Amino acid sequence: MIYQRSSALFNEAKKYIPGGVNSPVRAFKAVGGDPIFVKEAKGAYLYDEDGNRLIDFIASWGPLILGHAYEPVINAVIEKAKKGTSFGMPTEIETELAKLAVSMVPNIDKIRFVNSGTEACMSAVRLARGYTGKDKIIKFAGCYHGHSDSFLIQAGSGAVTFGSPNSPGVTQGTAKDTLLADYNDLEGVKKLVQANKDEIAAIIIEPVAGNMGCIIPTDAFIHGLREICTQEGILLLFDEVMTGFRLGKGGAQEALGIKADMVMFGKVIGGGLPVGAFAAREEIMNHLAPDGPVYQAGTLSGNPLAMSAGLAMLTELNNRPEVFTSLAEKTKYLHQGFDAVMSQKGMPYQINSFGSMISLHFTDQPVVDFKTSSKGNNETFKKYFHGMLKKGIYLPPSAFESYFLNDALSYKDLDDTIDALNTIF
């Protein structure tokens, strides 16, 4: 594999764009080396600027669940673009996508479209605070809800685990309203709720976590959260930016059998164009402007071009739910193949998978939260990442990410991926 053109493009990009990228994880800081610049993509394959073909396991971090340049989505976008891309006025297609999403996802009556997962989660927390009249939120270490100030919080000192900023620019004033708990630790949540009685508006969680690698909630934990929220008048916010329309029509609510009070979406709902959304039952959503007092707005929210991609994508998934089964079976095949290879290598490893989300961790402990995910050997991960890349397999350039299968992947692609792993250790 040669990457000369990618490296030259990266050097040029760094002159004009901070770090040479428009989102930090793309810069390969966690794995070393220069990032790969992609020229185009089709189906399961990326074609980089040096002419290499790569089997893609991030699918633009989730959106392209049917593969790159999926014809029905592309055609919908082309046709819509000919009629104008955005008007700043209501259009019928927004209602069409809203109706379809509401028909697919349980426990939501209304949905508001925004332009990213960050915007969806940020707006949902503001709505939860406005609806409940309470200020604090609980989030979980290792869960990522976008880069809004309230979410860029790390474990603070002190027994009550008050958050502290994990980025300059986030104020202590903001951090004090974010409480931090550990994923799969229900007792820790109970302690926080008791220590902040009647002050917590919401608990926000990735119902199946994808930003620590793939981490699955225990039944007791996720059902326990629901019970605590119901008892304490706290809203349970499911951040389904990754899991929404990926784990199934009804996302994680359906897969886990849990009713959330609010659900946030991104990625798949936009079909590869910028769309985020948040949704809930009517009594909550009617608190949003212009009907209600909680303000939220956006110039390009619901723009017809992005809506056309989202509508084409969700229509496909709604009409062909067998895609979700196919993705889950392919993921299980990859899991079993990786397990068969790694079990012969005499080294510690864990493989977590759920639906079409999967991650490989180089540690001897089960990976159940951020602490155990952090115990993975990053030097081994770097060797794995670059070894797979040299074999034409493009994985997320960080040990703290889930891989996202797309349904254009063939079983030969999966066999090639499993065989590539076998050459590394």
Asked whether position 401 contacts ligand KE4 by CB under 6 A, the answer is: yes
- Residues 6-25 vs ligand KE4: string with x where CB under 6 A? -----------------x-x
Of 10, 45, 57, 61, the one binding ligand KE4 (CB under 6 A) is 61
Q: Write down the least CB distance from residue 184 to ligand KE4, Å.
A: 17
Q: Write down the least CB distance from residue 46 to ligand KE4, Å.
A: 16
144 has catalytic annotation: yes
Q: Distance of alpha carbon 159 from its chain centroid, rounded?
A: 30
Three-class SS of 17-47: CHHHCCCHHHHCCCCCCCCCCEEEEEECEEE
Rounded CA gap, 368 and 222, in Å? 13
Of 6, 123, 196, 211, the one binding ligand KE4 (CB under 6 A) is 211
Asked whether position 266 contacts ligand KE4 by CB under 6 A, the answer is: yes
Asked whether position 241 contacts ligand KE4 by CB under 6 A, the answer is: yes
Scan residues 327-356 and list those touching ligand KE4 (CB under 6 A): none
- Residues 293-312 vs ligand KE4: string with x where CB under 6 A? --------------------
Asked whether position 242 contacts ligand KE4 by CB under 6 A, the answer is: yes
CB of 363 closer than 8 Å to CB of 400: no
CB of 298 closer than 8 Å to CB of 115: yes
CB of 405 closer than 8 Å to CB of 327: yes
Q: What is the DSSP string of 239-306?
A: E-TTTTTTS-TTHHHHHHT---SEEEE-GGGGBTBS-EEEEE-HHHHTTBTTTSSB----TTTT-HHH
Span from 234-242, 355-363, 405-413, 417-425 in contact with ligand KE4 (CB under 6 A) = 234-242
267 has catalytic annotation: yes
Q: Using the minimum distance from each CB to ligand KE4, give the nearer residue, 385 or 418.
A: 385
Question: What are the tokens at 363?
Answer: 């540690």
Query: Which residue is nearest to ligand KE4, using beta carbons?
Result: 117
Rounded CA gap, 381 and 384, in Å? 5
Considering CB under 6 A, how many residues would be counted as binding ligand KE4? Answer: 19
- Residues 269-288 vs ligand KE4: string with x where CB under 6 A? -------x------------
Of 146, 213, 272, 304, the one binding ligand KE4 (CB under 6 A) is 146
Span from 71-79, 238-246, 324-332, 337-345 in contact with ligand KE4 (CB under 6 A) = 238-246
CB of 272 closer than 8 Å to CB of 281: no
Q: Which of 239, 261, 369, 407 is labelled catalytic?
A: 239
Of 63, 210, 244, 302, the one binding ligand KE4 (CB under 6 A) is 210
Question: What are the tokens at 265?
Answer: 């979406």
Question: What are the tokens at 121?
Answer: 């989660």
Scan residues 152-191 and list those touching ligand KE4 (CB under 6 A): none
Q: Which of 267, 349, 369, 403 is labelled catalytic?
A: 267
Q: Write down the least CB distance from residue 379 to ligand KE4, Å.
A: 22
Of 20, 43, 63, 117, the one binding ligand KE4 (CB under 6 A) is 117
Rounded CA gap, 199 and 182, in Å? 19
Q: Using the minimum distance from each CB to ligand KE4, give the nearer residue, 308 or 402.
A: 402
Structure-token match 């040029």, residue found = 12
Span from 112-120, 218-226, 339-347, 381-389 in contact with ligand KE4 (CB under 6 A) = 112-120
Rounded CA gap, 136 and 134, in Å? 6
Q: Write down the least CB distance from residue 143 to ligand KE4, Å.
A: 7
413 has catalytic annotation: no
Q: Which residues pair with 55 in a beta bridge?
A: 45, 393
Rg of the chain in Å (alpha carbons): 21
Q: Write down the least CB distance from residue 26 to ligand KE4, Å.
A: 6
Q: What is the DSSP string of 40-86?
A: EEEBTEEEETTS-EEEESSTTTTT-TT-BT-HHHHHHHHHHHTT-S-
Span from 6-14, 111-119, 329-337, 413-421 in contact with ligand KE4 (CB under 6 A) = 111-119
Q: Which residues pair with 154 in a beta bridge?
A: 164
**Spatial strand order in the sheet of 110-114:** 110-114, 276-280, 262-265, 235-239, 200-205, 136-140, 178-181
Q: Which residues bind ligand KE4 (CB under 6 A)?
A: 23, 25, 61, 116-118, 121, 144-146, 206, 210-211, 239, 241-242, 266, 276, 401
Active site residues: 144, 239, 267
